[in-house]
Amino acid sequence: MKESVPSQERRRFLNWFLGGSVTALFGAIIYPVLRFISPPRVPEAATDQIEAGAANDPELLEKGFKIVPFGSEPVIVIRAADGDFRAFSATCTHLDCIVEYHKDEQRIWCNCHNGEYDMNGRNIAGPPPKPLTAYSVHVATKGSGQPGTIVVARS
């Protein structure tokens, strides 16, 4: 009889401890799952215009394009064969892969499912259901002898 009191206290403590552990475990599992299912809203960057580097950027001269961030969106800046600059959303309208520019064929290509866009961003082959969003581009000159800066803005 004397040992039953400490044993009951020990049992009560173990029940409390195990109950707390199970509750903490559920919290540790369920909270991340709920956060994954319902992520916090990230405000859209209020960007209407960006500078996309120098017009004589070696990457642009060599590859004919580069991807630049426009707020939270990737934008593809293309230096066309005629020297004009064009910019479109770099996100394929099919399943959101990032497109690239094929300088030799003068087409915008998505390597995920072989989607193609023309130099105006129109979907011309493959599964993309609609054109790429176009941005306006101009080159801002800084002064004599300075290379201009490519400025991309929402159309």
Contacts with ligand FES, residue ranges (CB under 6 A): 92, 94-95, 97, 110, 112-113, 115, 126-128
Q: How far is the CB of 51 from ligand FES (least distance, A)?
A: 28
| Whole-Å CA distances, 74 to 32, 85, 87, 94, 113 | 28, 16, 10, 15, 19
What is the nearest approach in angstroms of ligand FES to the Cβ of residue 129? 10
Kindly state the smallest distance separating residue 98's Cβ from ligand FES, in Å.
9
**Nearer to ligand FES (CB atom), residue 11 or residue 113:** 113
Task: Specify burial of residue 90 (Cβ count, 10 A radius: 0-12, 13-18, 19+).
Answer: buried
Q: Among residues 127 and 148, whose Cβ is nearest to ligand FES?
A: 127
Shortest-Cβ-distance residue relative to ligand FES: 115
Pick 80 or 112: Cβ nearer ligand FES? 112
Q: What is the dihedral of CA 90, 133, 117, 99, to 10 degrees?
A: 10
Report the alpha-carbon distance of residue 60 to residue 85 in Å, rounded: 10
